[in-house]
Amino acid sequence: MNFNLKIETKNQQIFLPILEEKKVSLFLKREDIIHPFVSGNKFRKLKYNLQKALRLQKTTLLTFGGAFSNHILATAVAGKLAGFQTIGIIRGQELGDNIEKTIQGNATLREAHNNGMKFQFVSREQYRQKDTPEFIENIHKKWGDFYLIPEGGTNSLAVKGCEEILIKEDQQFHYICV
């Protein structure tokens, strides 16, 4: 997957009798077809972050999330596709007590693991400290150098990527719902 591409997704018209009756046109922006695991806003949020990590010559991406986080999975898959190692700091220290059982019982973490992501499970109290300099310093001590992607992938580079969702053709619409 090339994260340097500007991907424009198509709008698919939905035909329903009630829409015809009310003379309403309804279209869906098909962001889901970008990739099975890195689609929609996940692709958009990661795109410029991955480009920056490559420019900085980072080899590892590190991010945060819960056990069922789509962002964790998208980062694992995108990282693998772009040649990065990935680390997920996962909320819920108890999940790390039996990692094999956790991965067997959790499709999200299993797929992230299958795509090469390593995990560090932390307590909910520790997780609340994830944005503090002390927490980040301790993470660096454990994992070494990495490019940090915030929880959910949201930062200014993510916003820049999401700005690409709407294209010139979308200006024809009166309402856009997210």
- Residue 137 pLDDT grade (very low, low, confident, very high; cuts 50, 70, 90): very high
Are residues 106 and 66 in contact, defined by beta-carbon separation less than 8 angstroms?
Answer: no
CA dihedral 70, 74, 75, 78 (to 10 degrees): 180
Between 171 and 17, the higher pLDDT residue: 17
Count how many residues are written for the chain. Answer: 178
Q: What is the CATH number of domain 37-166?
A: 3.40.50.1100
Question: Which pTM does this prediction carry?
Answer: 0.89
- Amino acid 31: pLDDT: 84
pLDDT in tens, 120-132: 999 999 999 999 9
In angstroms, the first-to-last Cα distance of the chain is: 25
Residue spans per domain, the chain: 37-166
Q: Please, what is the average pLDDT of the chain?
A: 93
Question: DSSP code of 8?
Answer: -
Q: Which residue has the higher pLDDT, 37 or 114?
A: 114
Residue 3 has pLDDT above 80, yes or no: no
